[in-house]
Structure 1
């Protein structure tokens, strides 16, 4: 039988009246025949109108004739653009190439070719009487640029050194006395990045940024950007670090020697403006990556002892201010992060999907004008001159409305009176993300030009941007910033947990531990039961093995203390500190975790300088069920919940449940003291991890404000899920579920309850807060 609705529809469609049914029209879809030779494609919204098709090519190749196409409302892809007469060219992944060395003064270069494929080499030699600066041998990289440094032959006779000529360029000017200028012009389709004109300064340096010539399809690798942008940004941040002082409320300021440093005094401030592209070509997924990058920068930069205010703008056809620089929340990183998380949305721009970089920069100009005018009416009219400004702009395409962004940059430079003696008061970094319509000329027009620095970058995609920022803000230049973990795609377990260490005996089972300072590891004392000499033990941190210089077990730890009470093992005060034979060098894979009740952790929590240890305990353990993690034998993070307050007593009762070492003990407090933290499932089947034998000594840590704080040390448990288990096909331990009706419990020594001992040994490696 035909359903009534179908019958009605059939009647309409077959009516003999000659009238046609008005059915909803389907939007035409674009063709699915859109492959590329040698590569793959990515579609932002399938084959529907508005979908962006991106051609993806392997490293060392690039998409020709263009990197992307758009599905038009007509159901046709935008045509392939080509400078030749080729009709309907086939998209192809072409081999990357590097520009030729067109000019090399006072020397020879070879081999001479019109173009150079990836892996090609150039060698440089100078004539007699000239010395080679830069690289004698350069190789063509898969990204379309030469490695090494630009070579030049110099005789030392001029005020400024021979400035050199980048590959692909011609230079005008051959006099290098003070005030002389040289200019550069890139050939063909190459774009100049850096300063097109440079002047010989009284200091014997050339002004501006060293130029390079880039093909439209060339880009930077994350490691390239990490080196250039990282060094510059760290210089902008200062940085001013707190040192010890007899007065805890008046920290002594010390500066670190940097090539270009912008030291901020206590009465000055850095304004950091973060501008994020939300135009049509940015997919929702990529916008989320941009958003994550903003949160990373805010959180990490707030870790520096630098007075900083943040502004955040998303822009498409018009800018939307998420955090204004003159708002109350601008100086509070937590408030900024909250607004970014809850108020920054691509959908907020609606159908206004153009790319208007000019108006986004214009917002910054208006803020600066407002501040300058407001201060001019006070008794400190020149106070605005103390403010340093840094702009970080993220975009995936060239501007297409609002006029040239360079006009807004010029206005900002003029109002800030940026000139040689105030050059360090403004830094603008321009990031092009993805090969879609990102043009080197546009990036270079926005970016600052600083001696020895690069401010314009082009990365292959948002994931590479995230990787870059995680790496830049996680290098040793940051100093002893604690609790950082790299969560970019592809990060190793050690990069994610750089404080995690493995403690290996000469023979037998290993233990885990945590790096808390450059020469100190915190672990469990029971790892050394019946061990006197640890000279042959090794502490493995990342790929580094270090010997133990001294071991300090907690003096009140005694595993046999209650044998006469029928308790065979007693783990109160199960803590040990290992002093390493030499300090470690902090890096992306070696970094300390934050220890509560220290000034280092206080900065990470962004607490007032007058905060106490009790404030930290309340902040980190205020909930009845505190989400926490420990690191498994397979170097994976496993989740638990620390039970506090009234839930603590119920949790600890599991220590004497049937089938455990302490079953039948009348008093739980004989086994579990107030110094233990407790975790474990409250009901059968609850998804909560249990610790395995061999994970003892590791850190129990909580995440707060995108940082990691150790609150306990893994000591003992009622169930070992790794007992008699075998590794799976990937080499991972199979953690078995507990027996029926057994509720596993794990116990950790609380670092809040053992502060006196920690302070005794870790001062002055760490700077501790008052107890209360």
Structure 2
């Protein structure tokens, strides 16, 4: 008679564990007896394979609670539960990490522990200003709502105070260029997700990814995944869209130099139950179908794995003459069935398989170094075969990044989605690769992940500020794609030619300076322009009676085009303040005031391009596809201080001693040689636009209006450094939001309006 091997607790003794060898006919009786001791107070449990060997016992609690002391137990080959039960299981309220670690602030109310739905508020010490939310709530996910707040004061540091995550500690109090800070999580019950070490960079940003401390019960919500993973993946796909349209279904093929290879692996080992697998498969199907809505045709390698990888879609078939269709891939994924589940998990062999395919592609494709590679893995990280995959991942990094991690960062991303009831974070988080946002996610359930992927890919063509972040820019096309919003405005009259730069802010409108246009610039001369909208308060001669020959307050204009320009990687709008489009780029929901107070806007170290040379041969022209010289970014300090603005009185045509009459509070000031030598804008050649770079997106916050000094070196071209007296004055776009909204946000027109926030 066949026998079954079961796990269970000996009745009457919670501490003793025995393995029953019984006749099959008796199994139902003893299984019932065993189940009595498996109960969890306040919750339920499920068994993946009854009480058989390798069966996983998963505990489930209501929202806002988590199983304690363990999330799962596994029936081992010797019939013992692991981890061994030493106390009854119960559902405990979800706990959030200690928020009182924030520096220079009071956190109220101050408690020893904080649980689901607890609310707190932050009050900064005198002399410090709060950046981030003043109130936060402990969420069911085990996280605090909103971003981590920081209490800062103007210390003159190159990088802003990076703060401390709840439940964490930081070493390092110096924030100059090259200075490092390191993070740990307090206690052994939490794990650090993000960068353990961050370095202050020349551009005023911290390297790496903002750290967060997770409990074992902490997870990422679908909304977070959509914002973070979605921002990165949309940047990759949208930046590869080509203007050469060859239709195949809903996709448009890439040019030969634009190749995107996507490698997807799904864990089907015994630790992943059937429901989790089906949800992961549904998510992958949704992702593939949504990617097809981009004008890109990626190549796919899709693997299901346990002890051995099972190849469902072979990436090499995409490089044959007959490219695999979307329908073929969908069918192969939908019809795949798990024949049997192995108790082993070999994650290392998955990465080895991916590396093997990369090596073959490299042999076949002369332009392999131009390929971009995205690896997406769904697993719980509980590998028990094949060894640690870290070495294989490092080998892939070396092969793709070619000892140029910064310049080639966009060529490799590895995303890990932790799935399953028990996620082995330490096995997984070191396997991620990519810059900017985090690449490791802990998911409570895969049930709604396909909906998340559905949201991720929507409206990519409307993304503002998206650009290709190349290190080197070896050709003109890549230079154009790094600054796709730049529009060159040339106005030729009988008397003179005026050159200005504008920024595309929607498919229909270009933002530039009002002083670029005069009364003599007639609209009929401009075949591709419908109307010039200048700010109603702009009047360059309004203060001549006060000794100010030219007054540049409200020096802002919008050029309305006859028709929308085609959006592509080489032509894309920049983000404007106080819009929903900017909220999308920031991946936050902020009011206009909050956007103006975001840490990325309050950092004084920003960036700007300092050289623009375009061909000019028509009366009014936008150069959309040609860039003859490189844009050079330099650190710049925007300040509104007496030492900076006082130099405005040295400008030609200024005959007053009252600097407030010349420079209103709508201007930001740059230039000089302290604390660092700045770059200066050259009159008559360029009209530089001030931007803030935030991860993958660029947000316009000001534009150059005027300067106090004509530098002789401007005649020579190239980058010109400021001297101790030279200054540029930039008009703050936050000051003209009502004007922008009245035109760009106007509904009922023949163009799509921007959505402004209050």
TM-score normalized by the length of structure 2: 0.53
- 1:135-154 paired onto structure 2 within 5 Å: 135-154=133-152
Question: Does residue 225 of the first structure (1) align with residue 225 of the second (2)?
Answer: yes
How far apart are residue 346 of structure 1 and its match?
2.3
* Cα pair distance change 1:200/1:264, threshold 3 Å: farther
How far apart are residue 331 of structure 1 and its match?
5.1
* Cα pair distance change 1:356/1:79, threshold 3 Å: closer
How far apart are residue 128 of structure 1 and its match?
4.1
* Cα pair distance change 1:269/1:242, threshold 3 Å: closer
Structure 2 unaligned segments of length 5 or more: list them. Answer: 1-21, 464-579, 582-749, 753-758
How far apart are residue 319 of structure 1 and its match?
1.4
- Between the aligned partners of 1:193 and 1:449, the Cα distance in structure 2 is 14
- 1:420-435 paired onto structure 2 within 5 Å: 420-434=406-420
* Cα pair distance change 1:182/1:279, threshold 3 Å: same
Corresponding residue for residue 49 of structure 2: 45
How far apart are residue 764 of structure 1 and its match?
12
Question: Does residue 332 of the first structure (1) align with residue 314 of the second (2)?
Answer: no
Query: Is contact 2:73–2:82 with CA below 8 Å preserved after alignment?
Result: yes
Which of 350, 353, 370 is the aligned partner of 1:360?
350
Task: For residues 327-378 of structure 1, give each alpha carbon's deviation from its aligned partner in whole angstroms, at most 9, with x where no partner exists.
Answer: 2377532232233234x3322xx46432221211121122223333444xxx
Task: For residues 101-145 of structure 1, give each alpha carbon's deviation from its aligned partner in whole angstroms, at most 9, with x where no partner exists.
Answer: 353334333433332111223322334443322222221111111
Query: Is contact 2:169–2:185 with CA below 8 Å preserved after alignment?
Result: yes
Query: Is contact 2:369–2:400 with CA below 8 Å preserved after alignment?
Result: yes
Structure 1 unaligned segments of length 5 or more: list them. Answer: 1-21, 82-86, 252-262, 481-583, 586-762, 766-772
Corresponding residue for residue 115 of structure 1: 113
* Cα pair distance change 1:239/1:27, threshold 3 Å: farther
Corresponding residue for residue 160 of structure 2: 161
How far apart are residue 457 of structure 1 and its match?
1.1
How far apart are residue 238 of structure 1 and its match?
1.7
- Between the aligned partners of 2:388 and 2:128, the Cα distance in structure 1 is 43
- 1:318-717 paired onto structure 2 within 5 Å: 318-328=308-318, 332-342=325-335, 344-347=336-339, 350=340, 352-375=342-365, 380=366, 383-417=367-401, 419-434=405-420, 436-451=421-436, 453-473=437-457, 475-477=458-460
- 1:162-241 paired onto structure 2 within 5 Å: 162-188=161-187, 189-239=189-239
Corresponding residue for residue 66 of structure 2: 62
Corresponding residue for residue 78 of structure 1: 81
- Between the aligned partners of 1:450 and 1:112, the Cα distance in structure 2 is 36
- Between the aligned partners of 2:417 and 2:246, the Cα distance in structure 1 is 40
Question: Does residue 270 of the first structure (1) align with residue 260 of the second (2)?
Answer: yes
How far apart are residue 469 of structure 1 and its match?
2.6
* Cα pair distance change 1:351/1:285, threshold 3 Å: closer
User: 1 or 2 for the larger relative contact order (CA 8 Å, sep ≥6)?
Assistant: 2
Query: Is contact 2:171–2:183 with CA below 8 Å preserved after alignment?
Result: yes
3-state secondary structure, aligned to 2:35: coil
Query: Is contact 2:43–2:62 with CA below 8 Å preserved after alignment?
Result: yes
Higher Cα Rg, which structure: 1
Corresponding residue for residue 11 of structure 2: none
How far apart are residue 290 of structure 1 and its match?
2.1
3-state secondary structure, aligned to 1:92: strand
- Between the aligned partners of 2:80 and 2:449, the Cα distance in structure 1 is 28
- Between the aligned partners of 2:49 and 2:434, the Cα distance in structure 1 is 38
- 1:25-36 paired onto structure 2 within 5 Å: 30=31, 31-33=34-36, 34-36=38-40
- Between the aligned partners of 2:254 and 2:126, the Cα distance in structure 1 is 47
3-state secondary structure, aligned to 1:45: strand
* Cα pair distance change 1:392/1:153, threshold 3 Å: same
- Between the aligned partners of 2:80 and 2:362, the Cα distance in structure 1 is 49
Query: Is contact 1:166–1:211 with CA below 8 Å preserved after alignment?
Result: yes
Question: Does residue 298 of the first structure (1) align with residue 288 of the second (2)?
Answer: yes
3-state secondary structure, aligned to 1:159: coil
Kindly report the root-mean-square deviation, in angstroms, between the aligned alpha carbons of the 2 structures: 3.4
* Cα pair distance change 1:152/1:357, threshold 3 Å: same
Query: Is contact 1:239–1:304 with CA below 8 Å preserved after alignment?
Result: no
* Cα pair distance change 1:102/1:142, threshold 3 Å: same
How far apart are residue 401 of structure 1 and its match?
2.5
Query: Is contact 1:193–1:441 with CA below 8 Å preserved after alignment?
Result: no
